[in-house]
């Protein structure tokens, strides 16, 4: 089984934040495939299955994503090499997509949490560019802001191949 995890923060308040691009894209994929999210409080996640893939939205908040991901990996006995994590990246231009295997967290706290909880970085990452803040704005503040309407339109054009 393949595990596809979109990172984000739970709750309406964060729905269109740049930091939630993983949720935005995995939600889009689920909707396009007629999938329905199920709450799994034991695994601290929303999940849905399609073919041999388990789609996941951790409900632990971004910086603790590893708690949910490691529980799911252990419960379903999934090899970390079969894990793909979709997340925001301020080092890529808006809408750019980069897929990497076994790369470091590059300062992304959600990815750091997953690496820490799994004890390995041997998994796939799909980095989604959200652009960089301007005018001296801190990265932490920038990623917690909502996408502008035109930025969200760019993000919604991204197609996931999971």
Known catalytic residues? 19
By the 10 Å C-beta count (0-12 exposed, 13-18 middle, 19+ buried), 116 is classed as middle
List C-alpha distances in Å: 38 to 56, 58, 121, 132. 10, 12, 28, 34
Check if the beta carbon of residue 86 is closer than 8 Å to that of residue 35. no
Burial 64-81 (b: 16+ CB within 10 A, else e): bbbbbbbbbbeeeebebe
């Amino acid at each position: 089984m393949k595990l596809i995890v979109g990172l984000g923060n739970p709750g309406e308040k964060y729905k269109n934040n740049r930091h939630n691009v993983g949720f935005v894209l995995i939600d889009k994929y689920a909707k396009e495939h007629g999938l329905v999210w199920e709450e799994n409080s034991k695994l601290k996640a929303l999940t849905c299955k399609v073919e041999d893939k388990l789609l996941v939205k951790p409900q632990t908040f971004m910086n603790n994503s590893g708690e949910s991901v490691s529980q799911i990996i252990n419960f379903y006995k999934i090899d970390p090499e079969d894990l793909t994590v979709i997340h925001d990246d301020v080092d890529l231009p808006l809408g750019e997509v980069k897929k990497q295997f076994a790369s470091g967290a590059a300062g992304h706290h959600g990815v750091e949490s997953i690496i820490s909880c799994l004890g390995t970085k041997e998994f796939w990452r799909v980095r989604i560019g959200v652009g960089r803040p301007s005018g001296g704005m801190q990265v932490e503040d920038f990623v917690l802001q909502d996408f502008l309407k035109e930025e969200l339109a760019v993000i919604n054009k991204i197609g996931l191949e999971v």
